[in-house]
Each structure stands twice: as C-alpha cells, then as structure tokens.
Structure 1
Amino acid sequence: MENLGKKKAENEQVGLRLVEERTDPTDLSKIETQFVSFIFFRIDPQWRRLDPDTKSVLKSEFQAVYNSFRDELIALSYSLVGFDSKADLMIWRVGCSLDSFQEMTAKLYRTRLGSYLETADNYMAVTKGKMFITEGMEDRDHAKPGQFDYHFLYPCAKHKDWYEKPASERDALIEENFMVGKRFPNIRIHLTHAFGFSDQEYLISFETDEPGDFLALTEELRQTPASKFTLRGMPIYTCRQRTLMECLDALG
C-alpha cells in the first residue's frame, strides 16, 4: 500500500466540511470500513547501553518487519522523544483487518529490539457514520493520515449527562466544535469511533505543521458547550512524524 505520508502541496485547500448522513443503504455497503490503531511504545533504558553496531543491526531487523506490512496497512511512525515521558515511539496504522494489526505487533515484539519495548498505550477505533473530513482529500469512511509533521492524539470520553441529550442536540454540539476547527485551515481533524474497543468514545486526531495553531484551537474548543461534557484527565500525545529509522535513532 502506498505510503500516504507526503507533504501537502502549497496550493492545496484544506477546509473542513461536515459530511451528511447517507440515506441509501446500498451506498454504505460499497465502502469498506477501516480500522485505526495508535500504539505507543516506551524503550527500556538498557537499550541505550548497547554498543552502536549492535543497535544498528537490531534497528535494521525491526525496520524489515515494519516494512513487510506495507501491502496490508498504512503505517506511519512518530517520535515522542523530548515531548512526552509516557512513550518514545508511536505507530499510526490504518487497515481493513484487525488481524494485520495483531500480526504486525507480535512480529515486532519478536525482534531483538522488540524485547526492549514496552507498550505504553494502545488505542483502537473505526471509521464510520458521520465524519468531519478535509475537502477534496478523502471520503467520509476512509482515513488518510500523515499529511503533516505534527500529530496530536486526544482520546475522548463523555459524562453520562451527554448521553441523556437527544441525538440531534449531540450532533449540533459536535458540529459546533468542528466549525471552530474550520477557522484553522492548516489543521486536519480526524474523528474515529472507539466505543466498544475501550472506555473512550472517540479518538480525535489533529495534524498540523504549526503546533502553535493547535494550541490556539484547543483554547477555543475549551470554550464550546460540548467541552463541558468531556471527562478530564484524558492524555494528549504530542507526536512528530519521522521515518522509522529516525524514530529508532532518537531512542538513543
């Protein structure tokens, strides 16, 4: 599968639009739902004590396993070194089979470098239903990640009061949030559904080349009515997209 982690063209339009629900069930049957995985790894400090030649061999072995899944998954690597104490490496995967996620993770752990890795967090979600997408760049059921340098992941859970509201009111509140996002055209927002996989309701991803704009967006989102129903204490991960070897080199 072609790696989609390319820079956007300078003249590309990235305005957000809200896609309406489809009414024809035959349309939905033509679209294959995608699964999304965000897996975070933390490196054992013992790794840094290995000699450079040994680390080079082990990193190449790990990369070979990673690359072997290119035809099955979109896989993008991100470094958290210097940004977050909870994790050092994140792999963002998009595919049509959960088995591929499991097989890839198991094979990575079976490498010698994998013996120095611990899973810090692992989030899974699915693309479905109403999604907020980038105009002209993707459809409503298929994620196309990796267009920007920085990625901010926000697992989202709601208070029980949220579910007591009528569905139409919840949709209006969500739409209001994403209309705020529309004022930041250099930020791409992905909304995927995590309910059933974990305690989270949604996984919201923000991609941008300008972290300062993301901070400005989050400040505005804090003022929206929907934010009052969000549970506090959810982690936000700051990730920098790099080649896998660059991410591994950053581990020390």
Structure 2
Amino acid sequence: MRSTRPMPAPATPLNEADRIPRQFISFFFFKVDNAFRQLPVEEQAAARAEYAAVVNKYRENGTIVIPYSTIGIKSNCDFFLWRIDYKLETLQQMQVELNRTALGKYTTATYSLLSMSKKSVYVDKLNPEHDDQRALIRPGRAKFVFVYPFVKTREWYLLQPATRQGIMDEHIYVGNKYPTVKVNTTYSFG
C-alpha cells in the first residue's frame, strides 16, 4: 500500500568544508541515596574528593565536565554532570569509573540526555557567522543552565523547508534579543 502523505524534502549533503568533528554531549542526572548523608562527615568528604578526582582526570584529558546542583530545584535528582567529548566511549568509561567510587555507590542515575553536535541546517540571517559558532559546543561558566529535550515531530519534517526556516527565523530573532543567554542546541534521534 502506498502512502499519500507528502514526503519531507531531502537533506542537503554537506560539503567537505562543512564537515566539523561532532561532539557527544551528555547531561547525566543523579540522585544521592539518603544513606550517604548518614555517613560520618569525614567519610562523605573523602567520597566527594574521590569522585572529584575522577572528574578532574577526565578534564585534564580534554573532556569538558561541568557539575550543576539541582538540590531544592528538582526532587528526583541532586546534581547533574554536563559532559562533552569527541568519543562516546570516553563518556562511558568515565561513568564506569564514577560508579566505582565510594560516592558513586550511593548514586542512582535518574535521567540521561545524550546528543551530538552538528551544524544547523537553518540559516541565522541576523548573524551569519553565528552558524560557525554553533557547530561545536563551547559552554560558558554560567551559574545556571536550563536543559530540556525539544522534540520535532514528523509533522515538523513534513513542512516545506521555507516554512521551517521561517519558524526558525522567528526563534533566532527572539534569541538574539537576549545576548547574555547562550543557546547550545544539540541533536538526538531515536
């Protein structure tokens, strides 16, 4: 049986000059078991130091790792790690090592968002050089970060490319009104 639904326009292949190495981006959320808080203060401090040593080891080898506290903000997690690396295996190995630490034994992963960087197919008409800046994730050192999955549905991809670009033009226009807010968009399918 043949579908009567319109097919989305095919993606434009990238030129060789447009090929930029992709980064893997991981937002990994953790809940700390209350039993950890019952440990002696010295044991808690040693466990945190061991955990931090693993994080710092990966930082020294080029992995970007930024911890954020969610205590008092989200009830299902206490902190998350924003991690960026060119190899997925590096992020996996780091998690294995974190899980083996004393603190890791008291943490449960409550949520994980995994994505990759890529050059956007949408043109930023207000700031054309912005496109190159968005191809790789370069996080700032902001006190706060907002992480949310944004789902583009099948209906989105059935829109004509010009219609999608128009919607994105409005999104980009609004974003440019707030230059102190840094937007990092990454991509995940599945």
What does residue range 1-252 of structure 1 map to in structure 2 within 5 Å?
Answer: 25-29=15-19, 31-70=20-59, 71-130=61-120, 139-196=133-190
Q: 1:35 to 1:192 in 2, by over 3 A?
A: same
RMSD of Structure 2 on Structure 1 (CA)? 2.3
Structure with a larger share of its residues in strand: 1
Q: Take 2:156 and 2:22, find their aligned partners in 1: how far apart are those partners?
A: 26
Contact 1:78-1:90 at 8 Å conserved across structures? yes
Distance 1:95 1:60, change over 3 A: same
Residues in 1 aligned to 2:96 and 2:31: alpha-carbon distance in whole angstroms: 16
How much has 1:157 moved relative to structure 2?
1.3
- Report the more deviating stretch, 149-158 or 109-118: 149-158
Give 1 or 2 for the bigger CA radius of gyration: 2
Deviations 1:165-220 (A, max 9, x none): 12231222122112111111111111111114xxxxxxxxxxxxxxxxxxxxxxxx
CA distance, structure 1, for counterparts of residue 169 and residue 87 of structure 2: 30
The aligned amino acid for 1:120 is: T
Q: Is 1:38–1:90's contact at 8 Å kept on the other side of the alignment?
A: yes
Distance, in Å, in 2 between the alignment partners of 1:93 and 1:45 is 25
> CA contact under 8 A between 2:23 and 2:84: conserved in structure 1?
yes
Identity across the alignment (%): 29
Residue number in structure 1 paired with 2:3: none
Structure 1's consecutive aligned runs of 4 or more residues displaced over 4 angstroms after TM superposition are 131-136
In structure 2, the gaps of 5 or more residues are 1-11
Q: TM-score, normalised by structure 2?
A: 0.83
Structure-2 change in CA distance of 1:181 and 1:46 (3 Å): same
- Once residues 23 and 147 of structure 1 are traced to their aligned partners in structure 2, the CA distance between those partners, rounded to angstroms, is 34
Deviation of 1:72 (Å) = 3.3
Q: 1:141 to 1:115 in 2, by over 3 A?
A: same
* Aligned residue pair count: 173
Could you say what secondary structure the match of 1:171 adopts?
helix
Amino acid at match of 2:57: S
Any idea what SS the aligned residue of 2:71 has?
Answer: coil
